[in-house]
A and B are shown apart, each in its own frame.
Chain A
Amino acid sequence: MSAATDYLLHLADNALVLGQRNAEWCGHGPILEEDIALANVSLDLIGQARLLYQLVATLKGGDCTEDKLAYFRDTHEFRNYTLLELPHRGPLSGYAQGDLDYSTTIVRNFLYSALMALLWEALEKSANADLAAIAAKSQKEVRYHLRHARDWLVRFGDGTDESHARAQASLDHLFAYTQEFWAHSPAEAAAIEAGIGVDVRTLQADWDAIVDAALAEATLVRPAVGGYVTLGKQGIHSEHLGFLLAEMQSLARAHPNGAW
């Protein structure tokens, strides 16, 4: 696979997997307005994924389509950050069940949107003109996602004792996964080399500033991180992605010749 397609798949899989997760709230949100807001975020992410998959399909040629890429690749072929495939709850094994937890959702959306607000902006200068155009569109969307998640993070941190404790627990759970943002995969390195991708490490100081300012306003503590660095973007995932894909892909795979 070329540097470009592998890098585009990383961006596309991020958007699809988080879009799929956020859509789980549809009909179950804590208040009707949030059902609608999360559906919006999810629609934006799936829209971004579709544009990126379509671009990959064009580059690959043959009978490749956006749906072949989304529905007929296996877990180890997905290139998303591990952070994005985790269920909306605290740390539990893959087949364990638990309630949807809105603070996990908000903290994850915040950490990822803070990165993408910077990354999409930088990708507007990509040597790949199609990617630059997708980045320009996505950048506008992610600014809204970041504001939405940040506002709720501050409400949780500065809200009740319970919401503060929940937000802190979600940060403690999720923060270590952000280490994956800063560790280059071979595909990222190749894409940077080719001028298509952006060196995420150049964005790290700005990301820190966005995160630290929000945490200060929310009176939450930034957890110290270290230890295992996840490798989702290299195809080595948590136990959770297999379940997500099994569900998402089941109908399409049951009717491989179906027309939808």
Chain B
Amino acid sequence: MYTQSFNVPDAPGGKTVPLTQPIEDPARQAAFDARIDADGRIEPQDWMPDAYRRTLVRQISQHAHSEIVGMLPEGNWISRAPSLKRKAILIAKVQDEGGHGLYLYSAAETLGTSRDQMLEGLHSGRAKYSSIFNYPTLTWADVGVIGWLVDGAAIMNQVPLCRCSYGPYARAMVRVCKEESFHQRQGYEALLVMMGGTEEQKAMVQDAVNRWWWKCLAMFGPPDADSPNSVQGMRWGIKRVSNDELRQKFVDATVPQAKVLGVTLPDPDLKWNEARQHYDYGQIDWAEFWETVNGNGPCNKERLATRVKAHNDGQWVRDAALAHARKQQERRMKEAA
């Protein structure tokens, strides 16, 4: 998944991307601007302003980290999936998210930063990831609701990114979006089946919707009025649609789906506005959102520590692979000599 708000800055102190071109270069700047204005694509070998490069590295690496951290809340239910079919679907889904992480790290690497550098940013707590993954998955219904709503919100965010001005990111998004739509349909289908089941199952689904709905609305990031970075992102063709527009689109698409499913969205202010031709919705708790973004949500520490532990515990495995590759090469060279 899961771009949230790319208006959320990483904490200060990070390594900046090494400059490969001088900042000041009016002729190249003009060519770059012309390409952007003509809605053209920027490719890795092209000249680009340093700020554009840094913004993309931040956004793409945040996105990659979100995919990887996002494996944990759903991974939490793999061992307990209630049928073999659902177990297989869930493993495949979590595996897809890992695959998204891989494409995105590769896309970011084309901008001159290494996967190790990006992971260092995540593990040190400096780099952000989508805050939606700092909430716990308490029941099996959370798995379905994450597919339906979280992947659903991610699709709203990411479909416009398929037209992003940076070629490798746009191309990665085309593939990712296809898989996210598949996840969303699978999540919704799992919930439909549960809603046809026992009273306990129906209550489980409603409870999960109650806990996730507002968090999903916040995934689109702060209101446009509070998103100063968005303007530059729009100018560069990195961001195409504003946070509030995306959020509205998501609400409008989701209300009828909730009706078919037979669940209530937990917002008394949610109602059709004939004049706007959109659904009105209530106030998002931004204080809680920022607390969670800034590290004080229910699972921030667990998620990060789990990623760090996997990385540290795997050090000897990666070292072994490198040592073996080096020995192989030495043996080949000796043979050739």
Interface set of A (CB-CB < 8 Å, partner B): 16, 20, 23-24, 26-36, 39-40, 42-43, 46-47, 49-50, 53, 66-67, 70-71, 99-100, 102, 154-156, 158-160, 162-163, 166, 247-248, 250-252, 255, 257-260
7 nearest A-B pairs in the assembled complex, by CB-CB distance: A30-B314, A159-B320, A163-B320, A259-B197, A30-B317, A39-B95, A27-B75
Secondary structure at the A interface, as helix, strand, loop or mixed, is helix
Q: Is the CB of A39 within 8 A of B313?
A: no
Chain A residues with Cβ under 8 A from B320's Cβ? Answer: 155-156, 159-160, 162-163
Q: How far is the CB of A80 from chain B (nearest CB, A)?
A: 15
Cα-based distance from A31 to B116 in the complex (angstroms)? 11
Cα-based distance from A53 to B313 in the complex (angstroms)? 36
Q: Is the CB of A163 within 8 A of B317?
A: yes
Q: Is the CB of A39 within 8 A of B94?
A: yes
Q: A23-B79, A159-B323, A258-B82 are in contact. List 5 more A-B contacts (CB 8 A).
A: A28-B313, A29-B314, A39-B91, A39-B94, A49-B84
Q: How far is the CB of B106 from chain A (nearest CB, A)?
A: 11
Q: How far is the CB of A216 from chain B (nearest CB, A)?
A: 15
Cα-based distance from A49 to B84 in the complex (angstroms)? 9
Considering only CB atoms, which chain A residue lies closest to B73 in the complex? Answer: A27
Chain B residues with Cβ under 8 A from A16's Cβ? Answer: 84
Q: How far is the CB of A169 from chain B (nearest CB, A)?
A: 12
Does B88 belong to the interface (CB within 8 Å)? Answer: yes
Chain A residues with Cβ under 8 A from B313's Cβ? Answer: 28, 30, 99-100
Chain A residues with Cβ under 8 A from B101's Cβ? Answer: 32
Does B269 belong to the interface (CB within 8 Å)? Answer: no
Secondary structure at the B interface, as helix, strand, loop or mixed, is helix
Q: Is the CB of B319 within 8 A of A160?
A: yes
Interface set of B (CB-CB < 8 Å, partner A): 68, 71-72, 75, 78-88, 91-92, 94-95, 98-99, 101-102, 105, 140, 190, 193-194, 196-198, 200-201, 306, 309-310, 313-324, 327
In the complex with contacts A27-B72, A154-B324, A36-B98 CB distance below 8 A? yes
Considering only CB atoms, which chain B residue lies closest to A33 in the complex? Answer: B102
Q: How far is the CB of A73 from chain B (nearest CB, A)?
A: 13
Chain B residues with Cβ under 8 A from A53's Cβ? Answer: 84
Q: How far is the CB of B46 from chain A (nearest CB, A)?
A: 28
Q: Looking at the complex, which one of A26, A35, A252 makes contact with B82 (CB distance below 8 Å)?
A: A252
Chain A residues with Cβ under 8 A from B327's Cβ? Answer: 158
Q: Is the CB of A34 within 8 A of B201?
A: no
Q: Is the CB of A252 within 8 A of B198?
A: no
Q: Is the CB of B71 within 8 A of A26?
A: yes
Q: Is the CB of B79 within 8 A of A20?
A: yes
Chain B residues with Cβ under 8 A from A160's Cβ? Answer: 316, 319-320, 323
Q: Is the CB of B94 within 8 A of A27?
A: yes
Cα-based distance from A247 to B76 in the complex (angstroms)? 12
Q: Is the CB of A255 within 8 A of B310?
A: no
Q: Is the CB of A248 within 8 A of B83?
A: no
Q: Looking at the complex, which one of A23, A66, A70, A250 makes contact with B78 (CB distance below 8 Å)?
A: A23
Q: Is the CB of B84 within 8 A of A70?
A: yes
Q: Looking at the complex, which one of A31, A43, A70, A154 makes contact with B95 (CB distance below 8 Å)?
A: A43
